[in-house]
Amino acid sequence: MRIVLVGPPGAGKGTQAAYLAENLSIPHISTGDLFRANISQGTPLGLQAKEYMNAGHLVPDEVTIGMAEDRMRQDDAAQGFLLDGFPRNIGQAEALDTFLSAHRLKLDAVLDLEVPEEEVVRRIAGRRICRNDSSHVFHAEYSRPVKEAVCDECGGELYQREDDSEETVRKRLAVYHSETEPIIDYYKKQGLVTTISALGAVTEVTERAMRALPRG
Ligand code: AP5
Ligand code: ZN
């Protein structure tokens, strides 16, 4: 199965992607996580991406599309994948369509996570991420680690993302509305979109998402 997860910053894409990918036995491909891994390894790609990310802007398509395609070409993605944070504008959506048709593949579903703006701000303000594994995501109120600033799963240090400052979050939301939301209409025309509420407990949202996916 090939799925695109779309939604504003802080909607819970990463949180849901981890569960969905496990349930469906497909890799979770997050362009944000790929950029952050490059930044922590100090690669040229990471250096390039960092300034855009910290300003809340999109990393240019020339960098992003190649990186996403390289990841989708890896062996573990041959049977399917869950894309989180890609595509993020019409140019990327068109590039993905071209990539898929060149490989005689197609998308099965686009899940659109809907969440009010006040909730986005609350979720991002409290988010804490593990330094060892970006899929270990906590929240200072909603899913507190047993020991403050320590990951329950691996003992790693929990930190707050540099682009999670209030000012940058506002910028990221504006970019989401102007650049990313148009891809929802783009995929609606292909009959692929299901919009689900991302409010409620994490497990409830996962159940909604699983029900929204085509069977098989
Ligand atoms: P990216 O890493 O993709 O960030 P984002 O889209 O802004 O999304 P977030 O990671 O902020 O939120 P999320 O929806 O995953 O929420 P999460 O599950 O963590 O991108 C970052 C930057 O990289 C971009 O700004 C851009 O610069 C660059 N970039 C990435 N991809 C790009 C692309 N394709 N093109 C160009 N540039 C690109 O949840 C948030 C918090 O809420 C957590 O604390 C979590 O515990 C909590 N939470 C989750 N679900 C619930 C729930 N149901 N109830 C209560 N709390 C919950
Ligand atoms: Zn951890």
Residues 68-92 have pLDDT tens digits of 999 999 999 999 999 999 999 999 9
How much distance in Å is there from the Cα of 112 to the middle of ligand 1? 13
Alpha helices per DSSP H over the chain:
13-24, 31-41, 44-55, 61-72, 90-102, 117-126, 166-175, 182-188, 202-212
Using most ligand atoms within 8 A of CB, pick from 4, 29, 34, 35 the residue to mutate for ligand 1: 35
User: How far is Cα 6 from Cα 179, in angstroms, rounded to an integer?
Assistant: 12
pLDDT at 216: 59
Residues 160-189 have pLDDT tens digits of 999 999 899 999 999 999 999 999 999 999
pLDDT at 96: 98
The DSSP letter of residue 147 is: S
Give nearest CA residue, ligand 1 atom 55: 142
208 carries an active-site annotation = no
% of the chain at pLDDT higher than 90: 96
Q: Which domains does the chain have, with CATH numbers?
A: 2-212 (3.40.50.300)
pLDDT at 61: 98
Does the Cβ of 127 fall within 6 Å of ligand 1?
yes
Spatial contact of 192 and 100, defined as CB atoms under 8 Å apart: no
127 carries an active-site annotation = yes
127 is in an annotated binding site: yes
User: How far is Cα 176 from Cα 7, in angstroms, rounded to an integer?
Assistant: 8
The backbone torsions φ and ψ at residue 192, rounded to the nearest 5 degrees and listed phi first, read -105, -10
Give Dmax over CA atoms of the chain in angstroms.
49
Predicted-complex ipTM score: 0.96
Q: Which of 5, 1, 13, 4 is nearest to 202 (CA)?
A: 13
Residue 13 tokens read as 């894409």
How much distance in Å is there from the Cα of 13 to the middle of ligand 1? 6
The low-confidence residues of the chain, meaning pLDDT below 70, are 216
The backbone torsions φ and ψ at residue 74, rounded to the nearest 5 degrees and listed phi first, read -70, 155
Please give the mean pLDDT across all residues of the chain.
96
Spatial contact of 27 and 77, defined as CB atoms under 8 Å apart: yes
